Amino acid sequence: MTAITALLAGLLFGIGLMVSGMANPAKVLGFLDLAGRWDPSLAFVMLGAIAIGSLAFFIAKRRKRSFLGLPVLLPASATVTPRLVLGSAAFGIGWGLAGFCPGPALVAFGAGYPKAWGFVAAMVAGMVVFEMAERVKSRWLQA
């Protein structure tokens, strides 16, 4: 059951990205190009997503268990750290270079675009480098 609701959520997420125009890097770059001919559409995506999201998290925050009885796991960290800011900056540069963030890249991957496959492969490589760096760091701290 938990896999079914997760599958449904993933499907809905993908459909939302496609309908909104977010799955199209050219449109994303049109939004990021403030100094050119600016396409403000993606602000409306955020508006719609946050409207429903706020309602959902308002409910979720008041529950210890989900409707399926699973623990509700919300991030506890509240401190703004250099890694949060530097990581976000690196992400934003990549986002601006290609017009892809992780979700839309996976949608374009599924749509069968070789450049999206290349992007996803490079993205996974970046994540693997992060994992390896974290492991080296924790071993170093233990020693």
Nearest approach, Cβ of 82 to another protein (angstroms)? Answer: 9
Nearest approach, Cβ of 64 to another protein (angstroms)? Answer: 9
Over the window 79 to 98, marking each residue x when it contacts another protein by CB under 8 A and - when it does not, the resulting string is xx--xxxxxxxxxxxxxxxx
Residues near another protein (CB under 8 A), total: 117
Residues 6+ apart with CB under 8 A from 91: 101
Q: Which of 131, 140, 141, 143 binds another protein (CB under 8 A)?
A: 131
Contact 5, 67 (CB under 8 A): no
Residue list 21-40, contact with another protein (CB under 8 A): 21-27, 29-30, 32-40
Residue list 58-77, contact with another protein (CB under 8 A): 59-61, 65-68, 70-75, 77
Residues 6+ apart with CB under 8 A from 64: 71, 72
* Burial class of residue 99, CB neighbours in 10 A (0-12, 13-18, 19+): buried
Examine residue 15 and tell whether it contacts another protein (CB under 8 A).
yes
d(CA 131, CA 14): 26
Nearest approach, Cβ of 105 to another protein (angstroms)? Answer: 7
Query: Within a 10 A sphere around the Cβ of 113, how many other Cβ atoms?
Result: 14
